[in-house]
Amino acid sequence: MSDYKYMLTERKGSVGIVTFNRPEALNALNEEVAEEVTDALRAFDADPSIGCMVLAGGDRAFCAGADLKAIVGQDFESAYHTDLGAYMDQVAHLRKPVIAAVRGFAFGGGTEISLMCDIIIADTTALFSLPEVTLGVIPGAGGPARLTRAVGKAKAMYYVLSGQNITAEEAEQMGMISKVVEDNTHLDEAVKLAEAIARNPRLAVMAGKEAVNAQAETPLIPGLKLERRLFHGLFSTHDQEEGMTAFAEKRKPSYKNY
């Protein structure tokens, strides 16, 4: 977990914290950075002692987007052959929750990886953007798809086609992010929320994430059916019985440590 060039990793109880650490380039994404952030989060996801993860950046930038010097020479053949931009998709498929703690610039790929996370906590300095159209391309790591699902077609079209910046307040108002907090309190707030999530029964949290994602990504009825089956299935778990029994007995529950 500590052998990364551009990532810092830390454990705080049941919370795993991954921090971009390429300040000289405002945490811009090249192939190595994309692989490291994905692999660091995947390692925490596979760790049975971790219940929730936080992804953070630096003081000036969460992640300033793609390192253009690393991709300017790409042509269609090389981009298609290497599936450019696809590696970080794995962040969206992690089973445990990921909270993005955003301060400063989150441009291009920075906005896209924050949208891959389950919850976004941003301080008042956070600035989001999908500026790729101004460079002759479009966002290629899920930006248009995820932004449309988060804020609707009209708003997504406005920002994808103009490349204009989105302030933290604007992002919160249109449902793109979860919460705006005071300047430089984003990481504390994210960790506090992650700790609260990690205290909950692990299987229920994972099932809740799966249910919400399914509802966001599928038509209503299939999403409802999956949600119902996950709900039913949790009645076979130790934590469901313990949680409800403890509530009835007015005591603190003792959940299983998966």
Q: Residues 61, 108, 112, 189: which is the catalytic one?
A: 112
Average pLDDT per 10 consecutive residues for the chain, totaling 258 residues:
87 98 96 96 98 97 91 83 88 97 97 97 98 91 93 96 97 98 98 98 96 88 84 90 92 88
* Catalytic residue list contains 246: no
Chain region(s) in the chain for CATH 1.10.12.10? 202-248
Q: Is 112 a catalytic residue?
A: yes
Q: pTM value?
A: 0.90
Residue type, 78: S
User: Annotated catalytic residue: which of 36, 132, 170, 189?
Assistant: 132
Q: How far is CA 114 from each of CA 27, 159, 176, 245, rounded to the nearest angstrom?
A: 13, 16, 10, 38
Q: Enter the tokens of residue 164.
A: 């204009």
Q: Which of 28, 34, 56, 66 is catalytic?
A: 66
pLDDT at residue 2, as a whole number: 60
Domain 7-198 homologous superfamily, CATH:
2-enoyl-CoA Hydratase; Chain A, domain 1 (3.90.226.10)
* Cα distances (Å, whole numbers) of residue 107 to 63, 160, 186, 243: 7, 12, 17, 42
Report the C-alpha dihedral over residues 92, 95, 101, 104, rounded to 10 degrees: -10
pLDDT at 113: 97
Residue 122 bears catalytic tag: no
pLDDT for 1 equals: 47
Is 195 a known active-site residue?
A: no
CA dist 229 and 211 (Å) reads 10
Question: Which residues belong to CATH 3.90.226.10 in the chain?
Answer: 7-198
- C-alpha to C-alpha distance for 113 and 43, rounded to whole angstroms: 17
Report the alpha-carbon distance of residue 179 to residue 210 in Å, rounded: 21
202-248 falls under which CATH superfamily? Lyase 2-enoyl-coa Hydratase, Chain  A, domain 2 (1.10.12.10)
Q: How many Å apart are CA 44 and CA 114, to the nearest integer?
A: 17
